[in-house]
Amino acid sequence: MRRDYEDYLNTQTMRASSRIITELPLRDLWDERGPVPAQRLRDLSLADLRDLLRCGPIRFVVADVGFKPEWVPEAECFAFWKREVKTHLAEPEQQVIQETFPGGYCFFAAEWRAAGSPVVVLQRCH
């Protein structure tokens, strides 16, 4: 019985490590180890995201169709915010023209909670 359970865990890990995003918005979160128990709370504006960052480090996850979720290490959240998110963030419900953003892409942000910690999922639109 123990061997069957270990095989099951190995299969789940292999599936998670090769799973890609097929549609947005995300319905669930996962990383290379498997599902991440999390709940989507709300869409975030620029002001909302700034307020979250004032409370301390958060986890960013970049979600792009055809790719695995890109989990940004918490220790890099402020640098990632300044370098990438701040100039590419679109407001919720905003009609966007990607060419008006640097590099021709933007993010829509949503707050999730995982184990009591904030996670910000950034849906990349290009």
| pTM for this model (two decimals) | 0.85
Spans of all domains in the chain: 2-125
Beta bridge partners of 42: 111
Distance CA 94, CA 126 (A): 14
pLDDT digits (tens, 9 = 90+) for 96-124: 887 889 999 999 999 999 988 899 999 99
Q: Is the pLDDT at 3 greater than 80, yes or no? A: no
Q: Which residue has the higher pLDDT, 93 or 113?
A: 113
Q: Is the pLDDT at 6 greater than 70, yes or no? A: no
CB neighbours of 113 closer than 8 A, spacing ≥ 6? Answer: 38, 39, 41, 119
Of the listed ranges 12-16, 33-37, 87-91, 109-113, the one predicted with least confidence: 12-16
For residue 117, which of 72, 62, 55 has the smallest C-alpha distance?
55
Mean pLDDT of the chain: 88
pLDDT digits (tens, 9 = 90+) for 12-26: 554 677 899 999 999
Q: Considering the chain, what percentage of its residues have pLDDT values greater than 90?
A: 75
Distance CA 36, CA 126 (A): 26
Question: Cβ(106)–Cβ(62) under 8 Å?
Answer: no
